[in-house]
Amino acid sequence: MSGFFLALMACLAVLLPGRECVRVAQLAARLGAGTGLLAALAVSAVASSAIAAWAGTLLAPAMPGPARQMLVALALVLGAAELAWRAAPRPPAEPTHSAGAMLVVLLASQLTDGARLLVFALAIATAAPVTVALGGTLASVVALTAAALAGSHWPDAARLRPLSWIVAAVLAVFGVVTGMMARGLFG
């Protein structure tokens, strides 16, 4: 179960101040938080977390213990970099009302976000890809549904920027410490 809670907490920390919630809130503000958007975000969360965990299972057998720790350290640092430097999405000019199009956009975006990178790394590190995928999925569904239901009341990227930097700093510190532990330099 520790993989579940690690993924849940790490993904929530990355998602809540991140660009995915801003994008979903912008879509909901323009279109409303209808069942099409909610279904698209749930399906994209399940699919992207499952794909990330599955990819982790493909790589896990080839990685010894210290390499797994280094991968987690790298994932934490890259997640921090994404939060600190990745630009916020622009509001959609003419958003589509098609749930399928929203699903494609959300899935493509989530496959490359920091939360899925953490799911990938934690699936390798914990050797529990199913529970890690479930934790990542739950975090994504909770965070993105909250953003969709808040719509225009969700803070914009500029207001979330200080929180993003704080979470990025915490992730970077954990990443550096984890990397030092993997190299035997610390702990």
* DSSP class per residue in 73-100: HHHHHHHHHHHHHSPPPPPPSS----HH
- Greater pLDDT, 90 or 4: 4
| Rg of the Cα atoms in the chain | 16
Mean pLDDT of 42-46: 95
DSSP type of residue 112? T
Lowest mean pLDDT among 5-9, 30-34, 147-151: 30-34
Nearest partner of 145 among 6, 43, 49, 52, judged by Cα: 43
State the pLDDT at residue 94.
58
Task: State percent of the chain over pLDDT 90.
Answer: 33
Mean pLDDT of 39-65: 91
CA dist., res. 125 & res. 131, Å (int): 12
**pLDDT for residue 107 is more than 70:** yes
State the pLDDT at residue 1.
61
Mean pLDDT of 79-104: 76
Q: What Cα–Cα distance (Å) separates residue 58 from each residue in 19, 29, 36, 175?
A: 28, 39, 33, 23
User: What are the respective helix, strand and coil percentages of the chain, to the nearest 5?
Assistant: 80, 0, 20
Q: How confident is the model at residue 169 (pLDDT cuts 50, 70, 90)?
A: very high
Copy the structure tokens of residue 142: 């909770």
| Number of Cβ within a 10 Å radius of residue 47 | 16
Q: How confident is the model at residue 95 (pLDDT cuts 50, 70, 90)?
A: low
Q: How confident is the model at residue 182 (pLDDT cuts 50, 70, 90)?
A: confident
CA dist., res. 158 & res. 149, Å (int): 20
Top mean pLDDT of 43-57, 146-160, 168-182 is at 43-57
Question: Helix (H, G, I), strand (E, B), or coil: what is residue 149?
Answer: helix
CA dist., res. 187 & res. 163, Å (int): 29
**pLDDT for residue 22 is more than 70:** yes
CA dist., res. 157 & res. 26, Å (int): 11
Q: How confident is the model at residue 176 (pLDDT cuts 50, 70, 90)?
A: very high
Mean pLDDT of 122-151: 93
* pTM metric for this prediction: 0.87
Question: Helix (H, G, I), strand (E, B), or coil: what is residue 32?
Answer: coil
Alpha carbon 25 to chain centroid, angstroms? 16
